[in-house]
């Protein structure tokens, strides 16, 4: 399947190489997506729109006739949307204690079980499916794969450094640790300094 690029990235050619420049002044401007597509921020490509009851992060991700409400695409009700939302909010506030005593409904269980897939928007890792974590990607956070053996990882010397990364990686998976890459004996293609700086997921 061929995907069309849609993010505001300028490509420059210099000395037989290409330089990709992110236009930070146009972060929400998307290009070339059809009426039944949306721009996926993680891939920078147009993807098919999300149908009713599918996860979403904004209205433009949902197919025509739907809107993004509480992270799920739902049918739009133009005439009664505001009234129903207001009524629902007041009802929720007035019956919060009563609802807390009731067992969760099948609908709420379904929403809870519908975890985010790779590339879906998230707030925390609990929003993502198993094997994924919630990590920063440009100006937002999306579900990304947890790292496996041999994959390049980021070692954080101090807690809180995650917030400084524009393209944050997940941590290494269970039973793995992020350690400096050890080159093969007699392999002079990688300098010692480079080897110290390159960290990969290795078995504990």
Condensed to tens digits (0 to 9), the pLDDT of residues 64-114 reads: 888 888 888 998 865 444 444 433 433 444 444 344 444 544 444 444 457
10-residue mean pLDDT series, the chain (204 residues): 55 55 48 75 78 85 88 73 41 40 47 76 91 89 92 74 71 92 60 69 91
Question: Which residues, 6+ apart, have CB-to-CB distance to 114 below 8 Å?
Answer: 55, 72
β-strands 132-137, 199-203: how paired?
unpaired
Instruction: Indicate the pTM of the whole model.
Output: 0.43
The two tokens of residue 128 are: 């993502």
Domains of the chain and CATH, by start = 114-204 (2.10.80.10)
Q: What's the distance, Cα to Cα, between the start and end of the chain in Å?
A: 39
Q: What is the SS3 assignment for 92? A: helix
Q: Compute, in degrees rounded to 10, the torsion defined by CA atoms 47, 63, 58, 43.
A: 0
DSSP string, 105-132: PHHHHHHHH--B-TT-B-SSGGGBPTTE
**pLDDT at residue number 185:** 53
Tokens of 155: 């070692």
């Amino acid at each position: 399947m061929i995907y069309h690029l849609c993010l505001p990235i300028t490509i420059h050619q210099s000395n037989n190489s290409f330089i990709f420049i992110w236009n930070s002044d146009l972060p929400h401007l998307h290009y070339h997506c059809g009426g039944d597509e949306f721009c996926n921020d993680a891939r920078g490509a147009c993807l098919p729109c999300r149908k009713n009851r599918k996860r979403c992060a904004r209205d433009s991700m949902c197919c025509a006739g739907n809107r993004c409400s509480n992270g799920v695409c739902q049918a739009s009700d133009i005439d009664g949307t505001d009234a129903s939302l207001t009524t629902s909010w007041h009802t929720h506030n007035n019956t919060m204690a009563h609802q807390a005593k009731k067992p969760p409904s099948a609908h709420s269980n379904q929403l809870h079980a519908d975890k985010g897939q790779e590339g879906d928007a998230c707030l925390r890792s609990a929003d993502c499916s198993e094997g994924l974590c919630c990590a920063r990607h440009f100006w937002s956070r999306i579900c990304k794969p947890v790292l496996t053996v041999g994959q390049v990882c980021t070692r954080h010397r101090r807690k809180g450094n995650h917030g400084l990364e524009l393209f944050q990686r997940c941590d290494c998976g269970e039973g793995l640790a992020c350690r400096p890459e050890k080159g093969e004996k007699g392999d002079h293609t990688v300098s010692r300094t480079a080897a110290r700086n390159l960290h990969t997921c290795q078995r504990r």
